[in-house]
Amino acid sequence: MKDIVSTKEMLLKAQKEGYAVPAFNIHNLETVQVVVETAAEMRSPVILAGTPSTIKYAGADYLISIASTAARKYDIPIAIHLDHFEDVSLIKNYIDLGFRSSMIDASHEPFEKNIETVKEVVEYAHKSGATVEAELGRLGGQEDDLVVDEKDTMYTNPQSAKEFVERTGIDSLAVAIGTAHGLYKGEPKLDFNRLKEIRELVDVPLVLHGASDVPDELVQKAISLGICKVNVATDLKIPFANAVKNYFLEHPDANDPRKYMVPGKEAMKAIVMHKINVCGSKNRV
Ligand code: 13P
């Protein structure tokens, strides 16, 4: 029976063919529905990403069941991914539960400790056929409970990236090249030369975090230089929330979630479609 997949094949295919697979942060049944329905309509592979606080909120067992149901229902590759997990034992538990894609984020640790932590996850995950993403360098901004001050941000060093990938055996590398989680104060400045250098030295798929609020041309340039996975959270949350807020302004007495969720889902769907087009992942399955 068809089920959720790891991100291995879908990212290698994207790398080979020069597009990116979008990873959309989801929070509940409705947000999963929007992402998978839209991806299926557009024939795009897709990654559902859940941060630690999302998994805690929605329940790992509920989320994996919903993702598995989606994978059986639609004829596209669907992965559910543990996003920005810092706790190794939690990742192991969720892999045992059926997750087949994870990010261990030890980017706040010194280089050697980062390698040691990531290696432990890779060894465990690969036994179950699960993939592992890790980050070298440090993105600024806020992703749920993870807040990184601008002074603590650090760009990825290309030589260290090569060593990091070789020594850890990770399946994909999240790079810090100037994006940040959440909204930007000015226009983000991406260090494309750094990305090029990393691409030349590192052979695994590269991941762009913090892709919300980044102009489409910059995301597409990053993809042309080797980014194969593009993470989007904030750009989905804001229009969903705004549409629901507007609905309540227009219908102050509304109380039926089957009604007030609909405009949120529609607003989110438009962004999911747009991001799939930006990633170039349409009609790739
Ligand atoms: P944004 O909220 O900036 O889109 O970042 C999402 C992300 O990188 C998830 O890991």
Q: Looking at the predicted structure, is the pLDDT value of residue 151 above 80? A: no
Instruction: For the full predicted model, state whether its pTM sits above 0.85.
Output: yes
Tell how far the Cα of 233 is from the centroid of ligand 1, in angstroms: 5
- Which amino acid does the sequence have at 109? E
Q: Which of 37-51, 139-153, 186-200 has the lowest mean pLDDT?
A: 139-153
Q: Looking at the predicted structure, is the pLDDT value of residue 212 above 90? A: yes
Interval 66-117: pLDDT, tens: 999 999 999 999 999 999 999 999 999 999 999 999 999 999 999 999 999 9
Can you give the pLDDT at residue 1? 65
Ligand 1 pocket, residue 25 CB under 6 Å: yes
* All residues at 6 or more sequence positions from 260 whose CB lies less than 8 Å from its CB, including other chains: 244, 247, 248, 251, 254
**Residue 192 confidence class, pLDDT cut points 50, 70, 90:** very high
Ligand 1 pocket, residue 7 CB under 6 Å: no
Q: What is the mean pLDDT of the chain?
A: 96
Give the whole-angstrom CA distance, residue 84 versus residue 2: 27
State the first-to-last Cα distance of the chain, in angstroms, to the nearest integer. 18
Are 26 and 50 in contact by the 8 Å Cβ rule? The answer is yes
Nearest-CA residue for ligand 1 atom 1 is 210
Interval 7-37: pLDDT, tens: 999 999 999 999 999 999 999 999 999 999 9
Looking at residues 215-223, what average pLDDT do you find? Answer: 98
Ligand 1 pocket, residue 239 CB under 6 Å: no
Ligand 1 pocket, residue 211 CB under 6 Å: yes
- Which amino acid does the sequence have at 78? I
Q: Among 133, 232, 274, which is best to mutate for testing ligand 1, by the most ligand atoms less than 8 A from CB?
A: 232
Give the whole-angstrom CA distance, residue 49 versus residue 83: 6
| Catalytic site positions | 83
Q: Looking at the predicted structure, is the pLDDT value of residue 243 above 80? A: yes
Tell how far the Cα of 182 is from the centroid of ligand 1, in angstroms: 6
